Amino acid sequence: MHSVTLNAVREHTVHPPDNGAAQPISRQALHLAVMDRLRKMITEGALAPGAHLNERALCEQLGVSRTPLREALKMLAVERLIDLLPNRGARVVTLSASDIADAFELLSGLEALAGELACERITQAEIDEIQALHCAMDDCYANGDLPGYFDCNQRIHDRINAAARNPALTQMYQSVNHRLRALRFRSNLHTGKWERAIEEHVAMLRALHQRDGAALGRLLRAHLMAKCTAVLAGMRVAA
């Protein structure tokens, strides 16, 4: 079994996120690429909650025409990341405190179930892949690379979910998680919360190595609800 250690607490500088709009998108599967780029911009705060989406400006930023942009917006509306407003364009969804609490409660249950099932069904190769992602995530943490950290973090959660071998669970998980990605990203902007998240991931990886489904399920549920608490506390401070 791989040993899992946590480096001593270090001083970190959080690098500003890349808003994803610097380079033109290739023409292949264009609307899907645009959707991914816009989702990243929403997650990292380049498109803030409530922001009106200016089609002309976005087309210039992404180097695309309005047709693939509008197709991408329709798909993001299905994911409930944006609202399409009749004759008024589109805007980024703003979630209420109640919306956030309900969604995190649901997602924590989905992740807990995924963890329990994954411990029964995961292969050693998949565990090794998650271990490697954890090491990469820890390197990003050490370097203050929040976007890189978050990407590794989400890939770890996705791999655990995939290892559950339950397509219905995965579909619902992805739907809810897309709505909360931006909030999960911002919950790590505070260094203390980021450190605690790393510690929680160390414990989750240990339970996965031990194939302790009950423990991993409890840890995943607690991890998500801690995120919820941090997000709601941040909203109260901002208000």
The domain that holds 129 is classified in CATH as 1.20.120.530
Shared domain for 38 and 138, answered yes or no, is: no
Q: How many domains does the chain have?
A: 2
Shared domain for 175 and 210, answered yes or no, is: yes
pLDDT at 213: 98
Report the alpha-carbon distance of residue 53 to residue 211 in Å, rounded. 45
Shared domain for 165 and 232, answered yes or no, is: yes
pLDDT tens, residue order, the chain (239 aa):
444 444 433 444 444 445 555 555 555 589 999 999 999 999 888 999 999 999 999 999 999 999 999 999 999 999 899 999 988 889 999 999 999 999 999 999 999 999 999 999 999 999 999 999 999 999 999 998 988 999 999 999 999 999 999 999 999 999 999 999 988 888 776 667 788 888 999 999 999 999 999 999 999 999 999 999 989 988 888 77
What's the farthest any 2 CA atoms get from each other in the chain? 58
Is 10 inside any structural domain? Answer: no
pLDDT at 53: 95
Shared domain for 65 and 154, answered yes or no, is: no
pLDDT at 23: 57
Q: Who contacts 24 (Cβ-Cβ below 8 Å, separation ≥6)?
A: 62, 63, 64
Shared domain for 228 and 113, answered yes or no, is: yes
What residues make up the domain containing 49?
30-92
DSSP code for 3:
-
Is 64 inside any structural domain? Answer: yes
Flag whether the pTM goes above 0.75. Answer: yes
User: What counts of helices (H) and strands (E) characterise the chain?
Assistant: 9, 3
pLDDT at 189: 67
Shared domain for 159 and 176, answered yes or no, is: yes
Shared domain for 59 and 170, answered yes or no, is: no
Q: Return the amino acid letter for 216.
A: L
Shared domain for 152 and 60, answered yes or no, is: no
pLDDT at 25: 53
Is 66 inside any structural domain? Answer: yes
Report the alpha-carbon distance of residue 176 to residue 128 in Å, rounded. 27
Is 141 inside any structural domain? Answer: yes
Point out the domain boundary residue: 92, 109, 133: 92
Shared domain for 112 and 230, answered yes or no, is: yes
Is 149 inside any structural domain? Answer: yes
Core vs surface per residue 206-221: b (16+ CB within 10 A) or e: bbbbeebbebbbbbbb
Point out the domain boundary residue: 70, 92, 114: 92
Is 3 inside any structural domain? Answer: no
Shared domain for 135 and 210, answered yes or no, is: yes
Shared domain for 69 and 168, answered yes or no, is: no
Is 5 inside any structural domain? Answer: no
pLDDT at 193: 78
Q: Who contacts 81 (Cβ-Cβ below 8 Å, separation ≥6)?
A: 39, 42, 92, 93, 178, 179
The domain that holds 81 is classified in CATH as 1.10.10.10
Is 168 inside any structural domain? Answer: yes
Shared domain for 104 and 210, answered yes or no, is: yes
